[in-house]
Amino acid sequence: MKTMQGIEYRRRAVAGAFARMAAYTLAFVLLVAAARVLVWPTLAGWIADATSVWIEVPADSVDLYRMLGYQEGSLVNGNPQFRDLADYRFVTGIIKGPVLWSTYAIGLAAVGLWCAARSTHGVDALMAALEQAAAGGKPELPGGFDGARAAFARLAEREQAQARAATYAEARKNELVAYLAHDIKTPLTSVVGYLALLAEEPGLPAACRERYARSALEKAQRLDGMMDEFFEITRYNLGAIPIERETTDVALLVEQVADELYPTAMERGVLIEVEVPEGLSAFIDPEKMARVMGNLLKNGIAYAEAGTAVVCRARVEEAAGDATAASEGGAAGDVIAAGGSNAAGRGSAAGDAAVEGARLVLTVEDTGKEISAAHLDRIFDKFYREDGARSGKGAGLGLAIAREIIEGHGGAIDASSERGVTTFTVRVPA
């Protein structure tokens, strides 16, 4: 299929060939004209001398030779010389006719071949540029190939975009796998813990054994739900986590998450304290919000000092920044939630302004290892782990997942860390 660029290239090639042939013709005509004026008299004499023979003519035949058109020359032995110019005229006719035109034709053919060679050179340049592009290099083209150069630039941009898309897709896939592995770990640890208690303590009361068995079953069912969600996210082409809101008992949700992490907290010598008013409810996704609370509590347990408590508080504010309208939920939590994080705090880009009207405020507070101010800006980045006081063994996805879920709710999450106290604050529309 002919393209506009191809048509333009052929048009320019043909026009260039005609222009060069016309220039050659003009130059040839001028050269012949100059030769006729400057060179031809001498050349004609040389040709006449080379093609004719002088004859001595007796005095009584001079008039006859003159009448016949013979050329008269100098006297030899007292007799005039004459020569026939028929051979001269024959030779010069050939020079002026076939030889002259043959020379012109040969020159014109040479110009045509040169133009064709230039066109072939252009094709060779394009092929070389294609090979360079195929090898991943930068195509080099001579002048006059602006259209091809622009096409190669567009091709390079398209390839770069495809490479970026492939890299992003691979990164998202890896993130998703790490995401799943991260979230599976907590309920799986609970299942293993409860089953270990059942196996190691055969004398447990029947009621306790039933409770542990029921808890292990619930965690196993949660793992099954996570696998379903994994495939669901995959069907959405690794897109955003879907949020399904419903009216949720926040107090019950937080207590259930705390119960799940009770074995882990006991191993660390850390207490979990829940300070949530009875009957507190919000219009949220309970499964996703449970995941957020689980990640925050797990983080607090990991970095809290033994013998201290990780405190979880919740309340509902009627308006952004209106601490006086907040429901009761603990003094310390009220101070942090109403004013946001302290001067050293950092969080999601959404900020408080993104959460207008009634909003649920959740805080998780631990006492122990601090987050340095230099790392607060990146604490919610995927796969980020601070080297030092708050460096953990995880994949660095827990807080990133929490932020993604919170922003999916249209909310914001931030963190503050000062004087050994680290507080994570979540605000979502209620």
Could you tell me the two tokens for 222? 């949660």
Specify the pLDDT at position 385.
Answer: 59
Specify the pLDDT at position 32.
Answer: 80
CATH (one of 1.10.10.10, 3.50.50.60, 3.40.50.300, 1.10.287.130) for 163-239? 1.10.287.130
Integer angstrom CA distances of residue 155 from 140, 143, 159, 363: 14, 19, 6, 51
Specify the pLDDT at position 3.
Answer: 57
pTM of this structure: 0.46
Q: Which residue has tokens 């995959």?
A: 234
Specify the pLDDT at position 426.
Answer: 96
Q: Which residues of the chain have pLDDT under 50?
A: 1, 236-238, 321-345, 349-355, 387-395
Specify the pLDDT at position 353.
Answer: 43
Tens-digit pLDDT profile for residues 16-31: 788 888 888 888 888 8
Architecture of domain 245-429: 2-Layer Sandwich (3.30)
Task: Delimit the domains of the chain by residue range.
Answer: 4-153, 163-239, 245-429
Specify the pLDDT at position 363.
Answer: 96
Output phi, psi for 426, to 5 deg. -115, 135
Nearest to 394 by CA among 256, 295, 304: 295
Specify the pLDDT at position 415.
Answer: 93
Three-class DSSP labels, the chain = CCCHHHHHHHHHHHHHHHHHHHHHHHHHHHHHHHHHHHCHHHHHHHHHHHHCCEEECCHHHHHHHHHCCCEEEEEECCEEEEECCHHHHHHHHHHHHHHHHHHHHHHHHHHHHHHHHHHHHHHHHHHHHHHHHHCCCCCCCCCCCHHHHHHHHHHHHHHHHHHHHHHHHHHHHHHHHHHHHHHHHHHHHHHHHHHHHHHHCCCCCHHHHHHHHHHHHHHHHHHHHHHHHHHHHHHCCCCCCCCCCEEEEHHHHHHHHHHHCHHHHHHHCCEEEEECCCCCEEEECHHHHHHHHHHHHHHHHHHECCCCEEEEEEEEECCCCCHHHCCCCCHHHHHHHHHCCCCCCEECCCCHHHCCCCEEEEEEEEEECCCCHHHHCCCCCCCCCCCCCCCCCCCCCHHHHHHHHHHHCCCEEEEEEECCEEEEEEEEEC
Specify the pLDDT at position 185.
Answer: 77
Specify the pLDDT at position 311.
Answer: 97
Specify the pLDDT at position 313.
Answer: 96
Specify the pLDDT at position 56.
Answer: 85
